[in-house]
Structure 1
Amino acid sequence: MPAAALRVAAITPFTTIDFPGRLSAVVFVQGCPWRCVYCHNDWMQSRAHAPESSWDEVMKLLSRRKGLLDGVVFSGGEPTVDHALPEAMRTVKSMGFEVGLHTGGSYPDRLAACLPLIDWVGLDVKAVPTDPETYDRVTGVPGSCAHFLESYRMIREAGVELECRTTAHPAWLPEDRLLALADWLKDEEVDTFALQIYRQPPGSFLARFDRIGADYPGERALAALKGAVGHFTERRG
């Protein structure tokens, strides 16, 4: 499918935080098969929603930013939902940009087609992968954990630079679950992990969850997560 068919929900023309070590633009792709309880971009979930940008706008931006940007991140939504993604990545690579991907791993087969084109992956770990029941409850879709694990193994085998990241709220990831997550990260020898403390999506007037106190996560869980990986980052809104 041609790159021009990519359903572009939005564009961030410049960021220093979405592609570690690179100055980049972010292309948000419309659509996601999951309905995560803490989704930050829930308006991007439906493929039927009219995209607010276009691939033509992406090309105009990148043409102006050659030599100024290092890379382009495809995010969402879930970017692998779109069959035009591989060709979009190929086009970006041909222009001299590195390619980053934010994904939950919901489409392992489609991810496989993209991996040879990807320089870095930010992989969402929605819950503890050794607890598939809770994992699927977080995403709202049965079988999500199995798809995540298949995608995770694929990325590791490909040797692509990887950051695992988890959005956390005590309602879904209390201290014992964070400790279990730390065990999984350590067992898997994950090098880079980011704990992203849940924050209310911008423009949302109804609070989905209780406010998170400064005491979450607790010292024991935080120490376990830090000790499980080579590089740990805690992100708060």
Structure 2
Amino acid sequence: MTADNLVIGGMAAFSTVDYPQHLAATLFLQGCPWRCHYCHNPHLIPLEAGDEKMTWQQAHRHLKSRQGLLDAVVFSGGEPTIQKALLPAVQQTRELGFRNGLHTGAPHLKLLEPLLPWLDWVGLDIKALPLDYETTTTNRHSGQESWAAISALQKAGVDFECRMTWHGALQSPEQVIAVGERLAEQGVRRFAVQIARSDQMLNDAIGAGRLSAKDKQWVQNTLTPFFETLDIRE
């Protein structure tokens, strides 16, 4: 398996938000084993790319032309770890001198672990407490390995933050607080609560799930003391 086999659904040539405090190019990889109700990139769920797909050769040429201008390359999705070609790709971006970032829900720990020596930062998506994952992902086998990824990242010394997407129809404020408290118990230092975007979702039937300013403030006030950084991202 080579990096040429990477199935890329799209690229953001310049991003200031995908890797904290770094300028990055973000590659969106195809494929995801989960079907999260609020997924706002449902076109990335199939492993096959659409007509506008980008090849790794094209992406690599673009990145090479941005050496010295960008700090990092972020691999996002979909769920990027399910592509075996990701490992040679992150090796090549490291050779180009870029930091490597990864956005992942870590559905399978065995797919994440070989990548760790080549990663500088990870945004780890935590959906819920382990026993509540199916409510969001519709996959009854999800959850345990995602939480186990926290220890794997800590042992590998990879910088990371945990993020949770909050949709009012799926999680109560109490459930978000419970996730935050569990993360703090496991030594997580940075936590971001992302408010779900309802303009484009895999399952529109769950509705907008609007959250009150009072509930958002309650979550922020309750969890802030547990973390070095706690962000509520709209």
Q: CA deviation at 1:207?
A: 7.0
Alpha-carbon separation, structure 1, partners of 2:158 and 2:58: 28
Q: Which moved more, 1:14-23 or 1:172-181?
A: 172-181
Give % identity.
35
Alignment: residue pair count: 233
Partner of 1:104: 105
Corresponding residue to 1:209 among 207, 228, 234: 207
Return the alpha-carbon distance in structure 2 between the equivalents of residues 229 and 107 of structure 1.
Answer: 26
Instruction: For residues 98-148 of structure 1, give each alpha carbon's deviation from its aligned partner in whole angstroms, at most 9, with x where no partner exists.
Output: 00000001121111110000000000011123xx1x212211112211121
- The one-letter amino acid paired with 1:162 is F
In structure 2, what residue type is equivalent to 1:117? W
Inter-partner Cα distance in structure 2 for 1:53 and 1:208: 32
Higher relative contact order (CA 8 A, sep 6+): 2
TM-score, normalising length: structure 2: 0.93
Q: Give the Cα–Cα distance (whole angstroms) in 2 for the partners of residues 136 and 48 of structure 1.
A: 25
TM-score, normalised via structure 1 length:
0.92
What is the DSSP-based 3-state SS (H/G/I as helix, E as strand, rest coil) of the residue aligned with 2:117?
helix
Amino acid at match of 2:219: A
RMSD of aligned alpha carbons: 1.9
Q: Secondary structure at the match of 2:215?
A: coil
Corresponding residue number in structure 2 for 1:62: 63
Asked whether the equivalents of residues 12 and 25 of structure 2 are also in contact (C-alpha less than 8 Å), the reply is yes
Contact 1:2 1:84 in 2 (8 A): yes
Aligned to 1:148: 146
The residue number in structure 2 matching 1:92 is: 93
Counterparts of 1:12 and 1:171 in 2: how far apart (Å)? 30
Alpha-carbon deviation of 1:16? 0.6
| Structure 2 Cα separation of the partners of residues 195 and 49 of structure 1 | 29
- Paired letter, 2:17: I
Q: Deviations over 1:9-46 (max 9, x none)?
A: 11110001100111000011100001111111111101
Instruction: Report if aligned partners of 1:185, 1:229 keep a CA contact under 8 Å in 2.
Output: no
Kindly indicate whether the alpha-carbon contact (under 8 Å) linking 1:122 and 1:162 is maintained by their aligned counterparts in 2: yes
Paired residue secondary structure (1:88): helix
Structure 2 unmatched ranges of 5 or more: none
Q: Distance in 2 between matches of 1:91 and 1:190?
A: 30
Matched AA of 1:80: T
Q: Secondary structure of 2:213's partner? A: coil
Could you say which residue in structure 2 is the equivalent of 1:119? 120
Distance 1:211 1:143 in 2: 25
Name the residue aligned to 2:224. 226
Shift of 1:97: 0.4
Q: Using a 3 Å threshold, how does the CA distance of structure 1 residues 82 and 222 change in structure 2: closer, same or farther?
A: same
Task: After the TM superposition, list the runs of 4 or more consecutive aligned residues in structure 1 that deviate by more than 6 angstroms.
Answer: none
